[in-house]
């Protein structure tokens, strides 16, 4: 996709009132957002890394008690460090510490930063403890399968843990134009997800049907290509042990960074 096409996509959304400000109003934050920086003025690509859960929301809890929120934050920090080391990216995190951030606010932060890419990092727990492996998800209102739908429901519950539920809010937009922009963003997200599957597959065990789709709230920005990575299953004894290890987290992070690099190199 050319730079012009990307500008067109975001300009289209801005004209429609579906810009960052539009979304902020729609999700009811009532908070003014920082002005969106002009794309042409920036050389670095902005990547928003989203460590899942945090604060009073631990996310999934592993068989020996490992919190998902800790694995996601540690891995996100490593991804950020490696991306920054390339000198090609401006890297932002939706949370930098062990704090709770509502899902819609994570989306809002990516839009306010005019992010070129959004990557949400999670680690799942499955009722079947023998299941292990990494998996990758993109947004779809129609879930690809029942398991993906259940996973999206679990991840979307993060907000209710803290007593807020913004997940039902949708941007108020003209539907036809919204769909057009959304479709372009979806295509870019699919390309990124394919990179993630390829790169993770070189390094770690993958779950069957590695790439799936469902209605994740955190992937709903119409103007920011995005994907959600489940690093593995904390419900599996050996994978939980690996996910706790900094060396394993570095291996995962390196795969994610290669995926981001590939994505922009082919843009």
Of 1-9, 56-64, 79-87, 129-137, the window that binds Zn ion (rule: CB under 5 A) is: 56-64
Pick 72 or 90: Cβ nearer Zn ion:
72
Window contacting Zn ion (CB under 5 A); options: 15-23, 38-46, 121-129, 243-251:
121-129
Q: Determine the number of helices (DSSP H) and then strands (DSSP E) in the chain.
A: 9, 6
- Taking alpha carbons only, the member of 54, 151, 58, 61 closest to residue 106 is 54
Q: Which residues contact 252 (CB under 8 A, 6 or more apart)?
A: 75, 134, 200, 203, 204, 231
Q: Which of 214, 118, 221, 117 is closest to 169 using CA atoms?
A: 221
Query: Should residue 59 be labelled a site residue for Zn ion when binding is judged by CB under 5 A?
Result: yes
- How many CB atoms are located within 10 Å of the residue 35 CB? 10
Q: Quick check: 239 and 125 in contact, CB under 8 A? A: no
Shortest distance (Å) from residue 230 CB to Zn ion: 7
Task: Report the nearest approach of Zn ion to the CB of residue 15 (Å).
Answer: 35
Site pattern 131..170 for Zn ion (x: CB under 5 A): ------------------------x---------------
Binding segment toward Zn ion, per CB under 5 A, in 54-62, 111-119, 128-136, 191-199: 54-62
| 9 contributes a contact to Zn ion by CB under 5 A | no
* Phi, psi of 212, rounded to the nearest 5 degrees: -130, 175
Residue 215 as a binder of Zn ion (CB under 5 A): the answer is: no
Extract the tokens encoding 91.
């890297």
Query: If you compute the radius of gyration of the chain from its CA atoms, what whole number of angstroms results?
Result: 17
Q: Of 64 and 86, which has the nearer Cβ to Zn ion?
A: 64
The nearer residue to Zn ion, 51 or 171, going by C-beta atoms, is: 51
Among 9, 16, 45, 52, binds Zn ion (CB under 5 A): 52
Q: Which two tokens stand for residue 106?
A: 């994570």
Q: Of 106, 122, 132, 212, which lies in the binding site for Zn ion, with binding defined by CB under 5 A?
A: 122
Binding to Zn ion, residues 169-198 (CB under 5 A): none
CB of 66 to Zn ion, least distance (A): 13
Closest CA to 77 of 58, 57, 91, 56: 91
Residues near Zn ion (CB under 5 A) are 52, 59, 122, 155
């Amino acid at each position: 996709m050319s730079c012009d096409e990307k500008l067109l996509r975001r300009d289209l959304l801005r004209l429609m009132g579906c810009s960052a400000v539009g979304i902020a109003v729609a999700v009811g934050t009532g908070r003014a957002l920082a002005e969106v920086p002009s794309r042409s003025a920036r050389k670095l690509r902005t990547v928003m890394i989203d460590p899942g859960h945090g604060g009073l929301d631990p996310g999934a809890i592993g068989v020996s008690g490992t919190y998902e929120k800790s694995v996601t934050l540690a891995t996100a920090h490593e991804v950020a460090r490696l991306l920054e080391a390339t000198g090609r990216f401006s890297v932002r995190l939706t949370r930098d510490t062990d704090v709770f951030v509502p899902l819609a606010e994570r989306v809002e932060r990516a839009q306010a930063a005019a992010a070129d890419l959004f990557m949400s990092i999670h680690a799942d727990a499955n009722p079947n403890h023998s299941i292990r492996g990494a998996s990758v998800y993109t947004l779809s209102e129609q879930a690809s399968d029942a398991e993906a739908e259940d996973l999206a429901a679990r991840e979307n519950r993060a907000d209710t843990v803290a007593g807020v539920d913004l997940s039902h809010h949708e941007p108020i937009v003209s539907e036809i134009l919204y769909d057009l922009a959304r479709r372009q963003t979806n295509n870019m997200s699919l390309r990124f997800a394919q990179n993630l599957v390829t790169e993770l597959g070189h390094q770690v065990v993958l779950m069957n049907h590695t790439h799936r789709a469902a209605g994740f709230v955190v992937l709903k920005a119409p103007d920011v290509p995005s994907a959600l990575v489940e690093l593995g299953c904390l419900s599996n004894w050996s994978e939980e042990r690996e996910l706790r290890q900094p060396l394993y987290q570095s291996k995962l992070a390196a795969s994610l960074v290669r995926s981001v690099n590939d994505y922009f190199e082919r843009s």
